[in-house]
A and B are shown apart, each in its own frame.
Chain A
């Protein structure tokens, strides 16, 4: 079973608030990813990391930022949430590039 955890599962928040979505994995994986997925739509890669102190922007432009201070932790932050940020955010990790991705259960974010 995948040991990757995301919190919170659901978040409803007002416009302008700062939020941090948490993602932790206990598998010792170097590679971690954040995907954004609208209901029933494809996954868009917004951030990824190849290890501690490594962060890169993905294919889809995002106003969010990430950090990777510890191997197991890859939080995503939105400084000022807007309704356009409403979406599902999925965190994933893998041991090797192009190897199996382990996904968390996601955070469903709604910005009012």
Chain B
């Protein structure tokens, strides 16, 4: 069974600060997806990375896939209250997607 560990589990910071959350595994994944989920809604895909070392930017969000395709990070610059939510990573493998437990992020005004 492939496991994905996300850290930190909870993070609360002030508006304007920078932050990084992590998604780690001992397994190799063919792809890595990041989702954001708001309370009472389903997760929404933010990005998919497929190549080791790949970096993708989405406005203030920067996603990186580890060289060995076992880990990923999400960096947010100048966090805004609208970034608040549960951030889930999901690794793609032969059996489909495996989700991590998520990082709960709260950005305080």
- For residue A19, CB closer than 8 A to chain B, the reply is no
Given contacts A40-B86, A48-B96, contact A101 B104 (CB under 8 A): no
Q: Let me know if B101 and A42 touch, CB within 8 A.
A: yes
The count of chain B contact residues (Cβ–Cβ below 8 Å) is 23
> 1/0 per position for B21-47, CB-CB distance to A under 8 A?
000000000110101000011111100
Q: Let me know if A103 and B86 touch, CB within 8 A.
A: no
Nearest CB on B from A55, distance (A): 15
Q: In the complex, which residues of chain A have a beta carbon less than 8 angstroms from the beta carbon of B35? A: 101
Q: Let me know if B31 and A106 touch, CB within 8 A.
A: no
Nearest CB on B from A93, distance (A): 11
Chain B residue at minimum C-beta to C-beta distance from A41: B101
Chain A residue at minimum C-beta to C-beta distance from B91: A98
Give 25 A-B contacts (CB < 8 Å), ordered by A residue.
A2-B44, A40-B86, A41-B101, A42-B100, A42-B101, A42-B102, A43-B99, A90-B43, A97-B96, A98-B93, A98-B96, A100-B33, A100-B45, A100-B48, A101-B33, A101-B43, A101-B97, A103-B42, A103-B43, A105-B41, A105-B42, A106-B40, A106-B41, A106-B42, A108-B40
- Contacts A103-B42, A105-B40 known; 15 new A-B pairs at CB < 8 A: A40-B104, A42-B100, A42-B101, A43-B99, A48-B96, A90-B42, A92-B42, A97-B92, A97-B96, A98-B96, A98-B97, A101-B43, A101-B97, A104-B42, A105-B41
